[in-house]
């Protein structure tokens, strides 16, 4: 059984990535924070007695399920909103974001043009990730960002290893195409990319 300290260390290690991953899926910071918080609590309350080695996969499964619950609730809410409101949804978060809107001007304090270019690249990548189909994005993030192997990713996603490979391959190709459209080729990625 994991100790409180082990749980705390694990959550501290994954919370930022979990937040960003959720933002890419739901496109709303506050909703993403709520989802991550829910997932953390569920992990602690329901699976706190599991070994700390099992936490990464359990947490990812919980996070994905919590996101799905969010989408279900949103679907029902949107249905009622559409039925009863003649104005429809004015929520800007539902619309596709312009990558330039996501740029963080606060980074200018670091000065160099390279920093700005980097921020632009990240914004474009984040926008491209948001455009991916949900399963492809999920597979890409788990496999490459969470650094899970194919079997672990398949277990976390509840699908076969073959599906994971297909999703990952399609995701990378789709991302490469989307980035290419914005003028970011493999070389630019290589120049600005940071090896983990």
Partner 1 sequence: MRDENDIAKAIVGLLEENTSRLDNKITNRLAVARQQAVSAHAKRQQQNQGRNFGFLHSLVHYVHNHIGASSAVLACSAVLIAFMVTQQLNNKEAEGQGDAFLLASELPPEAFADQEFHAWLEQSSQP
DSSP annotation of 49: T
CB closer to partner 1 out of 83 and 194? 194
- Tell whether residue 190 is a contact of partner 1 (CB under 8 A): yes
The residue among 158 and 185 lying less far from partner 1, judged by its C-beta, is: 185
Are residues 24 and 126 in contact, defined by beta-carbon separation less than 8 angstroms?
yes
Q: Which two tokens stand for residue 21?
A: 């991953």
Tell me how crowded residue 36 is: count the other CB atoms within 10 A of its CB: 25
166, two tokens: 């297909």
Cβ proximity to partner 1: between 78 and 126 the closer is 126
CA dist., res. 171 & res. 141, Å (int): 10
Instruction: Record the tokens describing residue 119, joined without a space.
Output: 């921020």
Of 62-70, 74-82, 86-94, 122-130, the window that binds partner 1 (rule: CB under 8 A) is: 122-130
Residues 40-99 binding partner 1 (CB under 8 A) are 40-41, 43-45, 48-49
49 burial via Cβ count (<10 Å: 0-12, 13-18, 19+) = exposed
Taking the complex as a whole, the smallest distance from the CB of residue 159 to partner 1 amounts, in Å, to: 19
196 binds partner 1 (CB under 8 A): yes
- With CB under 8 A, what is the number of residues at the site for partner 1? 49
CB 168 within 8 A of CB 139: yes
User: Should residue 192 be labelled a site residue for partner 1 when binding is judged by CB under 8 A?
Assistant: yes
Instruction: Kindly tell me which of 9 and 81 has the beta carbon lying closer to partner 1.
Output: 9
Q: How far apart are CA 65 and CA 157, in angstroms?
A: 10
**Residue 163, interface with partner 1 (CB under 8 A)?**
no
The CB density around residue 6, as the number of other CB atoms within 10 Å, is 13
Interface residue list for partner 1 (CB under 8 A): 1-2, 4, 7-8, 11-12, 15-17, 19-20, 29, 33, 36-37, 40-41, 43-45, 48-49, 104, 107, 118, 121-122, 125-126, 129, 140, 143-145, 168-169, 172-173, 175-176, 186, 189-190, 192-196
């Amino acid at each position: 059984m994991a100790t409180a300290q082990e749980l705390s260390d694990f959550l501290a290690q994954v919370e930022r990535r979990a937040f960003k991953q959720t933002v890419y899926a739901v496109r709303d910071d506050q909703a993403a924070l709520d989802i991550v918080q829910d997932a953390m609590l569920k992990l602690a309350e329901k699976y706190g007695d599991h070994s700390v080695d099992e936490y990464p996969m359990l947490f990812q499964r919980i996070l994905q399920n919590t996101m799905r619950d969010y989408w279900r609730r949103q679907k029902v809410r949107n249905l009622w909103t559409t039925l009863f409101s003649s104005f429809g949804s004015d929520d800007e978060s539902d619309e596709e974001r312009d990558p330039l809107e996501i740029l963080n001007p606060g980074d200018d304090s670091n000065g160099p043009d390279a920093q700005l270019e980097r921020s632009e690249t990240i914004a474009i990548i984040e926008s491209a990730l948001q455009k991916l189909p949900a399963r492809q994005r999920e597979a890409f993030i788990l496999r490459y960002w969470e650094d899970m192997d194919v079997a672990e990713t398949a277990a976390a996603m509840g699908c076969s290893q073959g599906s994971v490979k297909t999703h990952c391959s399609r995701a990378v190709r789709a991302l490469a195409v989307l980035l290419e459209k914005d003028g970011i080729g493999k070389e630019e990625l290589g120049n600005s990319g940071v090896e983990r």
